[in-house]
Amino acid sequence: METDHQAAGADQAHRSTERLIRIFGRFVGTGYLVYLVLLVPDIARNSAGMPGWWMWTAVVAVFGSGLTFGAFTFHPSMAVVRVAGSVAALTFPIMALLWWVAWDGITFDRSGSFLASFPGLAALAAATVWRRPIPVFIHMIACVVIVQLTNQAVREPFPRSNVIAEIFFGLMFCTVFVAATLAALRTGRLLDATISSTHGDAARAAAASAREVERERIDALIHDEVMSSMLAVARYGRTPGLALQARSALAHLDDLNTGTVSETLSADETLARLRSAATTVDESIVFTAHEEPATASYPADVVHAVASALAEAMRNSLIHARASSRSVTVELTPITLRATVRDDGIGFDPRAVPSHRLGVAVSIEGRMRQLDGGAAEIESSSSGTTVTLSWKR
């Protein structure tokens, strides 16, 4: 069960980060589209002084990879999205470097290269899909430095600005957006880690709770039926009633492997189960039943729990109370089930029962407490003990 919960938790992991990556990827793709439209005049001007192979390769590769990244954010696989973003991020500096290979060193343009207009957009693509910030900032610095040096070279005969100032301005401008993207994605990863940790804690708590419930069930079964059968045999020898009790214990032990099937029992079946639980312990018990109406039905797990707690109360009375008489009264209504065990024995102080004694704490009070709507009340004095087991729908 714990493995299933952990698998479910793992399935939810990285969902916040994935959503952010897709959102930023679409923003970057839209940015490439906008810059393509705005830079058409600059691209046409640059094409007059550059070899056609570089110009059209650069336009198709740079803008095509950016637009592809934006489109691939709709792909279900995050691996595909990350690859597309990495291609868009790396295509820009590669084509910027190839400009130096394609440039003839003779043709100049006072307006500079069109690539110098958006180096930060390629850095945003890197920040979106790369997990570590250091490679992202190295990529951003490389893109800004390459395009600013390109501008410095292509403007050679014309009045030029300070290249150092241009580089630092470009770096500061790009850093604002790149840092914001990295911070947002880091927040998404922290959120995913928190959710995953919470799911893991919840799974472990649920598994621990299930183990505790099962442990209490086994403890109660061993105490109620196995140990009590062995003690009764030691005290009274082999009797038909004890043989029946032993067969019941074996059947319930088998249920631990096969599991019990939840079902609904009629009022008559409920009374039969409770009467059987009482007479299995004491065949001479006075059993009284009141039911209204007889058509009511009750969950089988409720009947089983009440019957087991009733039998344990009977055994405690039989072994410890030194009672001359004992009785069981069962009251059934459409919404309630109540079983009362009374004896005229010496009584006891429930608060003085040692913690290692499981009969009252686990087999009676604990068993009824596990039922939704169940309760157990024990009243004892020197004139006798009354144990009331109740369940309300």
Q: What is the pLDDT of residues 59-107, one digit of tens each?
A: 999 999 999 999 999 999 999 999 999 999 999 999 999 999 988 888 7
Instruction: Find the mean pLDDT for residues 159-172.
Output: 86
pLDDT at 326: 85
Task: Report the range of poorest mean pLDDT among 21-35, 345-359, 373-387.
Answer: 345-359
**296 or 14, which is more confident?**
296
pLDDT at 142: 95
pLDDT at 255: 63
Q: Average pLDDT over the chain, rounded to whole?
A: 82
Contact 253, 229 (CB under 8 A): no
pLDDT at 199: 72
Q: In this model, does residue 193 exceed pLDDT 50?
A: yes
pLDDT at 37: 95
Q: Which of 166-175, 220-229, 308-317 has the highest mean pLDDT?
A: 166-175
pTM of the predicted model as reported, rounded to 2 decimal places:
0.53
Q: Which of 42-46, 204-208, 290-294 has the highest mean pLDDT?
A: 42-46
Q: In this model, does residue 259 exceed pLDDT 60?
A: no
pLDDT at 69: 96
Instruction: Find the mean pLDDT for residues 307-328.
Output: 84
Q: In this model, does residue 9 exceed pLDDT 60?
A: no
pLDDT at 192: 83
Task: Report the range of poorest mean pLDDT among 198-202, 289-293, 318-322, 355-359.
Answer: 355-359
